[in-house]
Structure formats: C-alpha cells, structure tokens
C-alpha cells in the first residue's frame, strides 16, 4: 500500500512524544500525518502549532468521535497517547472505524479492558501496537536475541528496581494520576503500572526464550504502600512466577530521596547479565569470559514499526497488544495480592526545594530488595506487610477475588 496516513489524538503531555514519532516517520517517508485531534483547551494552548498543521493540509478535529465520523476513510493509523482511563474506549473506537492503532503504555487499567481491545482488533482485522519504548530499543532487543539463542542458558530470574521520586505536581497534573479508578473505569495508577510499567514489560519480554513473545505470568505476590495523599500506591515490590519458568522481580518507589534509574539483572544457567536503563550491557559467563556492550545512540522506532507492518514491509509487530497484556496481568495481580498499606508518618520528610514526600531509608530498602530478590517483608523491615500469592492462570477479570481494592484516601 501507499505510505500510511497518520492521526494523533491530543497535543500536550505524552502526545509530544507521539508528534516526534510522526516526524521520524515522515522524515523517512514511511507515513504522513493527515489528521489531528485537539480538544478546545489544546486549540487555545497550541494555536500556533495547529495553524501550521492546517497550512500543511492536516485536518484538525475537536474530538476523536468527530474525526472518525468525518475522516476515518482517510486515516490508516491513529496514535492514542492519552491517559490510562481513555485507552480502551479510544482504541476500540479507532479499531471499529477500520484504523490501526498505536496506544501509549500501559495498554489499559484492567485485564478485561485489554481483552476488549484485543477482541476489537480481531473483529476489525486491524493491528494494535503499544508504546513500550524499550521494546523498540536495539539494546533491549539484543538481550532478547541472546536469550533466544541460548547464550545465557535457561533463564532462572530477572530483576530490576527503580527509585523515581515525584513532586506533588505529578499527582495534580490530571484527573486520574494516583487514582485506582475514574468513575467506572479502572486505572490502577502506580509506579509499576505507569511511570515504570515499561520496566516490568521489558523484563517479561527479554526473559522469554520465544521470539516476538513475552513470559506469561502464572502467579504473583506483591506488597503495595503509599505515603502521598493518593488513592493508589507510590511504592511496590512484586515477584512473578511465570508459565515458562523464569521468575520476575521488581521493587520501585516514588518516595525515595534520590533518583536512580532501573538496573536489570538476568540470571541464567550459563551466565549473568546486567544492563542499565539506558542499555549498557555487561555479561559474565560461567566459562570465565565477559562481554561489555556500550549504548548505541539512536531513536526508538516506535511508530516506524507499526507503519512498516501496515505498509506490508514487515509481518510482526515489535510490541503488539497481546504482548503488552502480560504486564497488565501482573499489575492486576498485585492489586489482588496486597492492600495499599500506609507508610509510617514518623519516617516522612518533605524536600524543602521540590516538595517531594520522602520516606527515610526507602532508597536503601528498594535497592536491598532488588539485590536480594526479596520483598520488603522478607527483609524484616518493620513497616512491611506480606501480600497473598495470587494465581493468574486463566485470569480474565479484575478484581477476581472480590477483595477490597485500596482504602480511604489518607
């Protein structure tokens, strides 16, 4: 087919990244933007950008509904970089209109929402990709290739951590940040299901020995905590057992006193691999050899991948919706496993410059959990409360176990 015709929903926030994706695709002559959704507030804030788009003959609409009603036959791919509560509705609407979709991560707030999106894609015979940026990065795909080639032997465990403190504005930036649900739509906003959801997704992808596939979670045990005045969690630790065998571990918090990007450690029968968030790789093999691979600078070809598949130049998506479903399955399981426990007020401090709420000792606790592959309660930390082991086999609805999700806002 000719170059795919592209549309973007939204102007601000993460839509800025998708606008860069579109620019990359246009520069390589892999696609062309033909439509833009800009809600009334965006039409005022981005008036100059929209005027430039109109000069380029890009159609501008006030809503996705309006765009699909008037121009769906002129659009091949719709980019949906909107908030989590909108992912299911907008993705299904675009697919039903006959468009392919790139939706931002995480795929949705609940497993039933993801499955509804998958069913819509199947009915429409259209593709849906998810914007988990690391999956499109050559360094992460190199690790995947090593695993599929058996260079590390059978993978036993992969683990990572993240210390990403967040200022108060992070939770005030929209109507769903820090929320468990908005009206009747699950959000489950939390560091492992939003800001660093891609770390969990990347681990499930890299540790699978099957090309173009992710590990399938079989069970999860988690611990969820908060100190910020939000509904959901700002701190989490989780251990996932998978159908294929490898264990996945992640510890993360938004209330640390330092910013420390994730570090991934993969343990295999033949070797041990460590990779930074940026992609620098160091492997030590049991035969005594080592290998270091530096980061190769280059753009993440997120939209380029879908454009090539839609154009018939490639057959398989790098991050299709069914792969991203595995991260959502993990996230849902964590909220089944653990109530959201308050962290001790006695350990609470506030950074005088940024206003960030910090728990003393949290940075060290997250790193220790990662180092030992142990949940906070297993480290003997006095504020930690163990969660339940949740069976995820055949899991298709959140919440499945009829337990209370969250509790009152502190």
What's residue 297's pLDDT? Answer: 72
CA dihedral sign, ordered 203, 209, 211, 215: negative
Rounded mean pLDDT, 265-293: 96
- Residue 404's pLDDT band, with cuts at 50, 70 and 90, is low
Whole-number Å distance between alpha carbons of 28 and 324: 27
Residue 3 near residue 34, CB atoms below 8 Å = no
Structure tokens at 347: 């350990």
- Is the per-residue pLDDT at 1 higher than 70? no
What's residue 5's pLDDT? Answer: 98
Higher pLDDT residue, 253 or 44? 253
What's residue 403's pLDDT? Answer: 63
Q: Is the peptide bond before 399 cis (omega within 30 degrees of 0)?
A: yes
Q: What residues contact residue 345 under an 8 Å CB cut-off, 6+ apart?
A: 227
Per-residue pLDDT tens for 181-210?
Answer: 999 999 999 999 999 999 999 999 999 999
Q: Residues 344-353: contacts with CB within 8 Å, 24+ apart?
A: 344/383, 345/227, 347/383, 348/227, 351/165, 351/257
- Residue 296's pLDDT band, with cuts at 50, 70 and 90, is confident
H/E run at residue 241: strand 235-242
- Residue 2's pLDDT band, with cuts at 50, 70 and 90, is confident
Tell how strand 217-226 and strand 389-391 pair up. Answer: antiparallel
- Residue 408's pLDDT band, with cuts at 50, 70 and 90, is very low
State what percent of residues in the chain have pLDDT above 90.
Answer: 94
Delineate the domains of the chain, giving CATH numbers in brackets.
5-133 (3.40.50.720), 138-298+321-391 (3.30.360.10)
- Is the per-residue pLDDT at 345 higher than 50? yes
Rounded mean pLDDT, 312-327: 96
Q: What residues contact residue 48 under an 8 Å CB cut-off, 6+ apart?
A: none
- Is the per-residue pLDDT at 401 higher than 70? no
State what percent of residues in the chain have pLDDT above 70.
Answer: 97
Structure tokens at 391: 């069976």
What's residue 407's pLDDT? Answer: 58
What's residue 410's pLDDT? Answer: 44
Q: Report H helices in 77-196.
A: 87-96, 111-124, 138-149, 168-172
Residue 326 near residue 217, CB atoms below 8 Å = yes
Average pLDDT, the chain: 95
What's residue 409's pLDDT? Answer: 45
For the entire predicted model, the pTM comes to 0.96
For the chain, how many residues are written? 410
Residue 15 near residue 9, CB atoms below 8 Å = yes
What's residue 69's pLDDT? Answer: 98
């Amino acid at each position: 087919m000719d170059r795919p015709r592209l549309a973007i929903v939204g102007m601000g926030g993460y839509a800025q990244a998708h606008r860069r994706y579109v620019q990359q695709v246009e520069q390589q002559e892999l696609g062309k933007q033909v439509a833009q959704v800009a809600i009334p507030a965006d039409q005022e804030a981005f008036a100059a950008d929209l005027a430039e788009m109109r000069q380029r003959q890009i159609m501008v609409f006030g809503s996705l509904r309006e765009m699909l009603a008037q121009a769906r036959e002129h659009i091949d791919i719709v980019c949906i970089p909107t908030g989590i509560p909108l992912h299911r509705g907008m993705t299904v609407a675009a697919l039903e209109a006959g468009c392919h979709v790139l939706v931002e991560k995480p795929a949705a707030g609940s497993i039933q929402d993801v499955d509804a999106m998958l069913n819509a894609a199947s009915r429409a015979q259209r593709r849906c990709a998810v914007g988990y940026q690391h999956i499109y990065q050559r360094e992460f795909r190199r690790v995947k290739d090593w695993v599929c080639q058996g260079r590390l032997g059978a993978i036993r465990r992969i683990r990572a951590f993240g210390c990403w403190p967040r200022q108060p504005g992070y939770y005030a930036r929209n109507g769903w940040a820090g929320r468990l649900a908005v009206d009747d739509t699950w959000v489950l906003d939390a560091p492992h299901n939003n800001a660093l959801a891609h770390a969990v997704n990347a681990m499930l992808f890299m540790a699978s020995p099957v090309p173009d596939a992710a590990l399938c979670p079989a069970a999860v045990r988690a611990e969820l905590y908060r100190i910020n005045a939000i509904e959901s969690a700002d701190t989490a630790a989780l251990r996932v057992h998978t159908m294929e065998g490898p264990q996945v571990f992640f510890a993360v918090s938004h209330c640390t006193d330092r910013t420390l990007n994730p570090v991934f450690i993969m343990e295999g029968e033949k070797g041990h691999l460590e990779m930074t968030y940026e992609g620098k790789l160091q492997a030590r093999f049991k035969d005594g050899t080592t290998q270091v691979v530096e980061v190769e600078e280059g753009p993440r070809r997120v939209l380029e991948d879908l454009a090539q598949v839609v154009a018939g130049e490639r057959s398989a998506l790098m991050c299709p919706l069914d792969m991203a479903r595995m991260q959502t399955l993990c996230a849902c399981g964590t909220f089944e496993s653990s109530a959201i426990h308050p962290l001790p007020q006695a350990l609470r401090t506030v950074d005088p410059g940024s206003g960030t709420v910090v728990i003393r000792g949290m940075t060290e606790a997250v790193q220790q959990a990662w180092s030992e592959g142990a949940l906070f309660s297993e480290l003997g930390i006095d504020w930690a409360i163990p969660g339940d082991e949740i069976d995820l086999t055949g899991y298709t609805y959140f919440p499945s176990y009829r337990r209370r999700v969250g509790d009152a806002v502190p």
